[in-house]
Structure 1
Amino acid sequence: MGETELKKMMAMPVSLAIAALILSGCGSSAAESVDTSPSAATSQTVEAAPAPTTPAVSPEESTFVDGVLSTPDVKIAITEHRVIPVGQPGNEYGSKPVIAFWYDITNVSGKSTTPLNWMFMIKAIQDNDPNAVNTLNIGSLPDDQFLESQTQEIKQGGTVQNAVAYELDDETTPVELVASDDVGMTELGRITYNLQ
């Protein structure tokens, strides 16, 4: 197996490991960030502001329409999609056909952003199970040109390209992309892609 094939095969586990690290940081408590240094104790007393009663990001600020996910921090614009059969370029090593998406991702706010932010903001569903939501698994990277760049940090205002693929469970049921900006807790919208 060559170096390129090895990188493609390792792209998915690396992506999942990054996701696990980010999610593990979500559980930290506010108490961990309290400054208990002597200089903090001598500072002027200020009354705490009341807790906000509205969400930090309102639905009007974040949308997923016509293949474009817009949030205060990130913009993701889908530029192309296609189904790739097993053994074809972009799915040489998979055992299932995949649906692949190419996209541009822009760092709007300056917060830490990489092309892999897609995985925390968009999931793919193929509604072919009468009893449960069938979320599709991420497949191998479908485009070799992004092997080295898929984890690069994006500067504020910068835009880079990337691609992602999902393993299909059948070749007829449409795939829905469902977007959120809070790791799937609040749906911002969904777009359906027919496979034929």
Structure 2
Amino acid sequence: MHRTTKATTLIASLGVAVLAFAGCASTATESPAPDETVTVDSAPIEDAPAEATFENSVLTTEDVTITITDTKTIPVGEPGNEYGDVPVIAFWYDITNNGAERDVTPNDFIFYFNAFQDNDPNAENELNVGALPDDQFLDSQLENIKEGGTVSNAVAYELTDTTTPVKLVASTDLGQTEIGSMTFNLG
């Protein structure tokens, strides 16, 4: 019969730990001798993307430029909100493909903008996207925009009341980082 003592267990554990740490040790990297020259290839960054901005109703990013051309509150049953259950705020805009490496469609507005009404004392009230408020864009809203091309479109957000202003917030990362915002009074 073998008896394991505390001392034997401790010695075995220390041995395993020493071997583990020895295996983790890294070898020193060679550094250049004082009289050696190290060459690093570098070049100035040409065409570095400008920082995205949202000012004066214009969102400018590396991929797109979106210019809001009109805004309107549309009650239930009115043209542009014939089938809705709640009033909407509608935005008409032009979207330009600045040379994005991905497909750009007129509906890309919703990837760059979130709308809020600050009428809940306990939580953010992000508005839901509503139905297309302008039938003239039914056939063109999903078309790919060519590089340098500009297409018009519209989008609506469902309001939770008709008095609280709507804050439109722009971002390039699906709402994670605010670039800028505009507030639209209703009425």
Amino acid at match of 2:126: T
Q: Find 2:99's aligned residue among 96, 100, 109.
A: 109
Q: Find 1:163's aligned residue among 151, 154, 159.
A: 154
Query: SS at 1:133's partner residue?
Result: coil
2:88 aligned with 1:98, yes or no? Answer: yes
**1:2-56 alpha-carbon deviations (Å, 9 max, x no partner):** xxxxxxxxxxxxxxxxxxxxxxxxxxxxxxxxxxxxxxxxxxxxxxx9xxxxxx9
Considering fraction of residues, name the structure with more helix: 1
Query: SS at 2:107's partner residue?
Result: helix
Query: Equivalents in 2 of 1:136, 1:110: separation in Å?
Result: 28
Match of residue 189 from structure 1: 180
TM-score when normalising by structure 1: 0.69
Q: Alignment RMSD, CA only? A: 1.5
Instruction: Tell me if the contact between 1:125 and 1:175 (Cα under 8 Å) persists in the aligned partners.
Output: yes
**Structure 2 residues without counterparts, runs of 5 or longer:** 1-40, 42-47
Instruction: Tell me if the contact between 1:110 and 1:155 (Cα under 8 Å) persists in the aligned partners.
Output: no
Query: SS at 2:109's partner residue?
Result: helix
2:156 aligned with 1:152, yes or no? Answer: no
**1:44-96 alpha-carbon deviations (Å, 9 max, x no partner):** xxxxx9xxxxxx96xx6200111110001100000000000000000000010
Q: Find 1:66's aligned residue among 56, 60, 65.
A: 56
- Aligned residue runs from structure 1 range 8-27, under 5 A: none
Amino acid at match of 1:99: I
> Higher mean Cα deviation, 102-111 or 139-148?
102-111
* Greater Rg by CA: 2
2:78 aligned with 1:122, yes or no? Answer: no
Match of residue 87 from structure 1: 77
**Same amino acid, percent of matched pairs:** 62
- Give the drift of 1:109: 1.6
Match of residue 140 from structure 1: 131
Runs of at least 4 residues of structure 1 off by over 6 A? none
Instruction: Tell me if the contact between 1:126 and 1:174 (Cα under 8 Å) persists in the aligned partners.
Output: yes
- Give the drift of 1:110: 3.5
TM-score when normalising by structure 2: 0.72
- Give the drift of 1:125: 0.3
Query: Equivalents in 2 of 1:88, 1:137: separation in Å?
Result: 19
Query: Equivalents in 2 of 1:61, 1:99: separation in Å?
Result: 28
Query: Equivalents in 1 of 2:94, 2:73: separation in Å?
Result: 19
Query: Equivalents in 1 of 2:159, 2:174: separation in Å?
Result: 22
Amino acid at match of 2:120: D
**1:86-141 alpha-carbon deviations (Å, 9 max, x no partner):** 00000000010100000000000243200111111101000100111100011110
